C-alpha cells in the first residue's frame, strides 16, 4: 500500500481528484439550473473549477424551471 504526501487536493493524483469530484458533483435527479448552485468545490480555485465542472456538466441532467 502506498501513501501520498499531498498537502492539498491539487497534489492528489487525478484519479483521486476525479473520485472526489464525482462524489460532490453527481446527482441522480435533474438539476434545476435556475435554483441549484454549482458545487461549492468549484468556487475554490481555477483548476478545481475547471476539473469539477467538466464532470458536473457532462454527467448530470439539467432543466431550467423558474
- Is residue 22 in a domain? yes
Does the residue 40 lie in any domain? Answer: yes
β-strand partners of 63? 32
Q: Please tell me the total count of domains within the chain.
A: 1
Residue 5 resides in a domain? no
Residue 27, domain extent: 12-63
SS3 at position 14: helix
Grid coordinates representing 12 are: 492528489
**7 found inside a domain:** no
Report how far residue 51's alpha carbon sits from residue 18's, in angstroms, rounded to the nearest whole number: 8
- pTM value is 0.81
12-66 pLDDT, tens digit each: 999 999 999 999 999 999 999 999 899 999 999 999 999 999 999 999 999 999 8
Residue 23 lies in a domain: yes
* DSSP notation for 19-59: HHHHHHH--SS-EETTTPPPPGGGGS-HHHHHHHHHHHHHH
Domain assignment present for 3: no
Amino acid at each position: 500500500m502506498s501513501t501520498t504526501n499531498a498537502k492539498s487536493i491539487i497534489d492528489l493524483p487525478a484519479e483521486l481528484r476525479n473520485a472526489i469530484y464525482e462524489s460532490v458533483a453527481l446527482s441522480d435527479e435533474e438539476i434545476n439550473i435556475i435554483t441549484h448552485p454549482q458545487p461549492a468545490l468549484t468556487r475554490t480555485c481555477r483548476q478545481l473549477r475547471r476539473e469539477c465542472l467538466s464532470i458536473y456538466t457532462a454527467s448530470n441532467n439539467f432543466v431550467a424551471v423558474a
